[in-house]
Amino acid sequence: MRITVLAGGVGAARFLRGVQAAAPGAQITVIGNTGDDITLFGLRVCPDLDTVMYTLGGGISEEQGWGRADESFSIRDELAAYGAGPSWFTLGDRDFATHILRTQLLAAGKPLSEVTRRLCERWQPGVELLPMSDDKVETHVLLDDAERSLVHFQEWWVRLHAAVPALAITAAGAQGARPAPGVLEAIADADFVLFPPSNPVVSIGTILSVPGIRDAAGAKTVVGVSPIIGGAPVRGMADACLAAIGVRTSAVGVAAHYGPDLLNGWLVDEQDKAATDDPALAGLQVRALPLYMRDLAATAAIAQAAIDLARELT
Ligand code: GDP
Ligand code: CA
DSSP codes, 15-80 = HHHHHHHH-TT-EEEEEE--TT-EEETTEEE-HHHHHHHHHHHT-B-TTTSSSBSS---HHHHHHH
pLDDT in tens, 81-140: 999 999 999 999 999 999 999 999 999 999 999 999 999 999 999 999 999 999 999 999
Cis bond before residue 24 (omega within 30° of 0): no
pLDDT tens-digit profile of 165-188? Answer: 999 999 999 999 999 999 999 999
Residue 40's pLDDT band, with cuts at 50, 70 and 90, is very high
Across the range 17-33, mean pLDDT stands at 98
Instruction: Report the pLDDT averaged over residues 20-38.
Output: 98
Q: Is 289 in the pocket of ligand 1 (CB under 6 A)?
A: no
**Spatial contact of 104 and 44, defined as CB atoms under 8 Å apart:** no
Q: Report CA(267)–ligand 1 centroid distance (Å).
A: 14
Q: What is the mean pLDDT of the chain?
A: 98
Among the listed residues 266, 312, 307, 310, the one whose alpha carbon sits nearest the alpha carbon of residue 286: 266
Over residues 276-292, mean pLDDT: 97
Q: Could you give the maximum distance between any two Cα atoms of the chain, in Å? A: 59
Quickly state the pLDDT bin for 192 (edges 50, 70, 90).
very high
294 falls in which pLDDT band (50, 70, 90)? Answer: very high
The domain limits of the chain are 2-35+127-135+175-313
Distance, CA 293 to ligand 1 centroid (Å)? 9
- Ligand 1: residue whose CA is nearest its atom 6: 198
CATH for 2-35+127-135+175-313?
3.40.50.10680
Burial class (CB in 10 A: 0-12, 13-18, 19+), 271: middle
Nearest residue (CA) to ligand 1, atom 26: 227
